């Protein structure tokens, strides 16, 4: 369906490709999450709690994923709202998980995996797959 207006100008050319872009961002977010956790463990082993710092590529994928999900909200209202809630929850849990890694490091407890973030990441991936299969890009191909 052709949109009535182009809200974002040239950015609206992404409209038909936003779901695969979101899928790539969700997978990239998982890769950077894995790399960030490994980096936090190495920093803890090398320098203790004060050496643990945020992993910039992971924070960048969080921001890009949030912006892309907000854009998806303009393309598919219901699916975009649900996905935006998952991604916002993912962003919030990432903030708390980082702080909990710092607390674990200060208390000399082995650093745990970011379980809440992994759960929300899985929900985001499953919901995006559902949207792609039944209402989006893959639905038109199949």
Distance between the two ends of the chain, CA-based, in angstroms?
A: 18
pTM score, two decimals? 0.85
Q: Per residue of the chain (142 residues), what is the pLDDT tens digit? A: 455 556 666 666 677 788 899 999 999 999 999 999 999 999 999 888 888 999 999 999 999 999 999 988 888 889 899 999 999 999 999 999 999 999 999 998 888 898 899 999 999 999 999 988 888 666 556 5
List the one residue out of 25, 119, 18 whose CA is nearest residue 63. Answer: 25
**Residue 65 tokens, joined:** 């994923």
């Amino acid at each position: 369906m052709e949109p009535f207006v182009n809200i974002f100008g040239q950015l609206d050319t992404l409209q038909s490709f936003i779901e695969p872009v979101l899928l790539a961002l969700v997978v990239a977010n998982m890769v950077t999450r894995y790399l960030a956790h490994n980096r936090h463990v190495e920093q803890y082993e090398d320098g203790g709690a004060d050496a643990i710092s945020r992993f910039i590529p992971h924070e960048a994928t969080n921001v890009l994923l949030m912006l892309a999900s907000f854009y998806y909200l303009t393309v598919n209202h219901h699916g975009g709202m649900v996905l935006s809630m998952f991604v916002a929850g993912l962003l919030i849990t990432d903030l708390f998980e980082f702080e909990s890694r710092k607390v674990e490091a200060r208390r000399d407890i082995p650093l745990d995996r970011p379980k809440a973030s992994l759960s929300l990441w899985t929900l985001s991936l499953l919901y995006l797959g559902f949207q792609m299969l039944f209402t989006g890009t893959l639905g038109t191909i199949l």
